[in-house]
Amino acid sequence: MQIKIIAVGKIKEKYLREGVAEYEKRLRPYVKLQILELAEEKRPTPSPDSAETIVKKKEGERILAVIPSGSLVIALDPQGVDWSSQELAEAFWRWEIAGEGPLTFIIGGDLGLSPQVIERSEVRLSLSRMTFTHRMARLILLEQIYRAERINHGEPYHK
């Protein structure tokens, strides 16, 4: 299975970079993974609502420009479905059987995703009802993809 993660912003924290690298390594036997980092749009501080709307729109345009054609797009969105790890594994299984692919996960910047990106996605996925930074979301997503692959391969995982 091919998985692409499009993420706005670079991970600055060493511990998160190390965690991402670890899960990239763990995923190698299961999926072909590509992570594409897009630059965060600069904005004035403090940032009025109108500026934030423009930022989300510009970041959204850059995201939409790099989504591979024919991919199934999964947008990380706090308002999305909140699947369990088992349900995510089942979705992966269905998508693989159906020949969907590649899977493209989208992680927005700190302001979230533009309405255009949300509209382009086939699935809106929430990682939790709790709030995480967009940088932490990348690590959490990779861990959940790894967990789903372990489940689907009948390998042990921590419940």
Query: What pLDDT, in 10s, does the model give residues 8-22?
Result: 999 999 999 999 999
Distance, CA of 41 to chain centre: 18
Name the CATH topology of 2-42+50-152: Alpha/beta knot (3.40.1280)
Bridge-based pairing of strands 72-81 and 2-8 is: unpaired
Element (H, E) at 152: helix 134-152
For residues 68 and 94, what is the distance between their CA atoms, to the nearest angstrom? 20
Confidence check: pLDDT of 93 > 70: yes
State both tokens at 45.
């501080």
Domain ranges of the chain: 2-42+50-152
Express each pLDDT in 36-92 by its tens digit: 999 999 877 777 778 888 999 999 999 999 999 999 999 999 999 999 999 999 999
**Of 101, 50, 105, nearest to 80 (Cα)?**
105
Instruction: Tell me what the pLDDT averaged over the chain comes to.
Output: 94
pLDDT average, residue stretch 126-153: 95
- Average the pLDDT over each of 30-34, 41-45, 95-99, 135-139 and give the range with the smallest value: 41-45
Query: What is residue 159's predicted lDDT score, i.e. its pLDDT?
Result: 59
- Choice between 105 and 156, residue whose per-residue pLDDT is larger: 105
Tens-digit pLDDT profile for residues 112-129:
999 999 999 999 999 998
With beta carbons less than 8 A apart as the criterion, state whether 112 and 75 touch.
no
